[in-house]
Structure 1
Amino acid sequence: MTANACTFCRIIAGDEPAQMIHEDDHTIAFLNIAQVTEGHSLIVPREHHRDLAEISPDGAAQVMRTAVHVSRQLTRALHAPGINLWHASGETAWQSVFHFHIHVVPRYTLTDLTPPWTEAEVPVESLAGLAAEIRGQA
């Protein structure tokens, strides 16, 4: 993908407007134009990586360090008693901009967001085969 084709790359280059709240050598953070809650922000690596499969562990760690910093910044500035971090890789996971990013969503009440899944516990023993299959791919 060329930098011009990627919205986040254009923001990083200064060719697309954004309300920045943090910048460092490796990442930027800006307010999402689709505010799910007040202060909903995006953390983006300066280097283009399509998704979690393409970003290096070090690159992902840099994004997470910024997410921690921005979470604290939002909590102090907006008095948000909670924060959700959200990442999606791939269309089936609802990724809509194909440049790795993490959403930082301040939470103000228990009901300002709807959980994307419901909890349904299963006996831990029933997960043994699945765990073995996943370990086999390490």
Structure 2
Amino acid sequence: MCPFCKKKPEDYFAESQHFAAIYNLAPIVPGHSLVIPKQHVESLFDLPDEAFVEMMKFSKRIMKFLCDYFHTNAFDWAIQEKPPAGQSVAHLHLHLIPRYENDLPLPGDWYVQMVASEKQQIDVHMRARLSEEALQQMTERLKQAAAAYFTSN
């Protein structure tokens, strides 16, 4: 079964009607999160236009929250469509990656690290993964912060 389809509402730190925000199990930098459809969708092209608009609006709100929470105004967004583009989970997901001055040797290194780790390192656990407990703790912190943030914004 698809690992994103196994996610439950308690795994989300924010959600809209059809999308959820989750913290990445193996973040490249602090704050690296994903927006996923709650239902199984493999391709961006499979999303109806209304769902695409919802995804983009929701992702924009989540990215703004992450930038504020992690004290930055720089970020990357990435959708990898199909294995030749680096997609390792056959479920549509948008990477939201807050960026920081000198967080990686070169500004574009996030993509190289993500592709390399997803294709080669995730299965051999070379990319640092959060423990289940650490992932739950981060999700809960973000969930509480997001609830307060979206109530006031």
Stretches (4+) displaced over 6 A: none
Task: Give the AA of the match of 2:99.
Answer: R
Partner of 2:35: 43
Structure with higher RCO (Cα < 8 A, 6+ apart):
2
Quick check: which has more Rg, 1 or 2? 1
Instruction: Name the residue aligned to 1:25.
Output: 17
Match of 1:109 among 101, 112, 118: 101
**Offset, 1:52:** 1.7
Residue equivalent to 1:59: 51
Asked whether 1:79 is paired with 2:71, we answer yes
- On the 8 A contact 1:45/1:59 being kept in 2, the answer is no
Shift of 1:57: 2.2
Share of identical aligned residues, percent?
A: 26
Name which of 3, 8, 11 aligns with 2:4: 8
| Cα 1:78/1:57, change in 2 over 3 Å | same
Answer yes or no: is the 8 Å Cα contact 2:29–2:103 preserved in 1.
no
Q: Which runs of 5+ in 1 are unaligned?
A: 118-138
When residues 11 and 68 of structure 1 are mapped into structure 2, their CA distance, relative to the original with a 3 A threshold, is same
CA distance in 2 between counterparts of 1:83 and 1:21 reads 19
Aligned CA-pair RMSD: 1.9
State how far apart, in whole Å, the 2-side matches of 1:115 and 1:79 are. Answer: 18
Structure 1 residues 80 and 99: CA distance shift in structure 2, 3 A:
same
CA distance in 2, matches of 1:58, 1:48: 16
TM-score, normalised to structure 2, is 0.64
Q: What letter matches 1:34 in structure 2?
A: A
Residue 66 of structure 1 and its aligned partner are, at CA, apart by 1.2
Counterpart amino acid of residue 22 in structure 2: F
Asked if structure 2 preserves the Cα contact closer than 8 Å seen for 1:55 and 1:100, the reply is no
In structure 2, give the amino acid aligned to 1:21: F
- Structure 2, unaligned runs of 5 or more: 113-153
Count residues in correspondence: 109
